[in-house]
Amino acid sequence: MRALLLDTNAYAAFKRGSPEAVEIIRRVPLIAVSSIVLGELLAVLLLAARAAPTRRIVQAPLTATELSLGFGSQLSHPALGSM
């Protein structure tokens, strides 16, 4: 095999460490990626970077014992401190 054109699934398999993908890519002297695959990979990276702060907020433990509902009333519950 002289060259290989990777698609997104092949790249993902390689990154996951799939033995078959790693072996094939290791034996090929020239690897190419289409502009479509580059766009897909860039989109995934941008979405992941954008989602990271949101993921940290969602995964953070809730420490407040009162929640403001935004219209003057408040919700309070003892279990909220341990969530």
- Tens of pLDDT, residue by residue over 9-44, are 999 999 999 999 999 999 998 988 888 998 898 888
pTM of the prediction?
Answer: 0.56
| Number of compact structural domains in the chain | 1
pLDDT band for 49, please (50, 70, 90 cuts).
Answer: confident
Q: Do the strands 74-76 and 66-68 form a parallel or antiparallel pair, or are they unpaired?
A: antiparallel
Question: What is the spatial distance between Cα 22 and Cα 59, in angstroms, rounded to a whole number?
Answer: 34
Please give the residue range of the domain that contains residue 55: 3-82
**The one-letter amino acid at 31:** I
Q: How far apart are CA 80 and CA 77, in angstroms?
A: 6
Give the pLDDT band of residue 70 (cuts 50, 70, 90): very low
**pLDDT at res. 82:** 37
In this predicted structure, the answer to whether residue 62 has a pLDDT above a threshold of 90 is: no
Q: How far apart, in whole angstroms, are the C-alpha atoms of residue 61 and residue 80?
A: 10
Cα separation, 76 vs 54, in Å, equals: 24
Q: What does the buried/exposed string (b/e) look like for 63-77 if buried means 16 or more CB atoms within 10 Å of the residue's CB? A: eeeeeeeeeeeeeee
What pLDDT was estimated at residue 41?
87
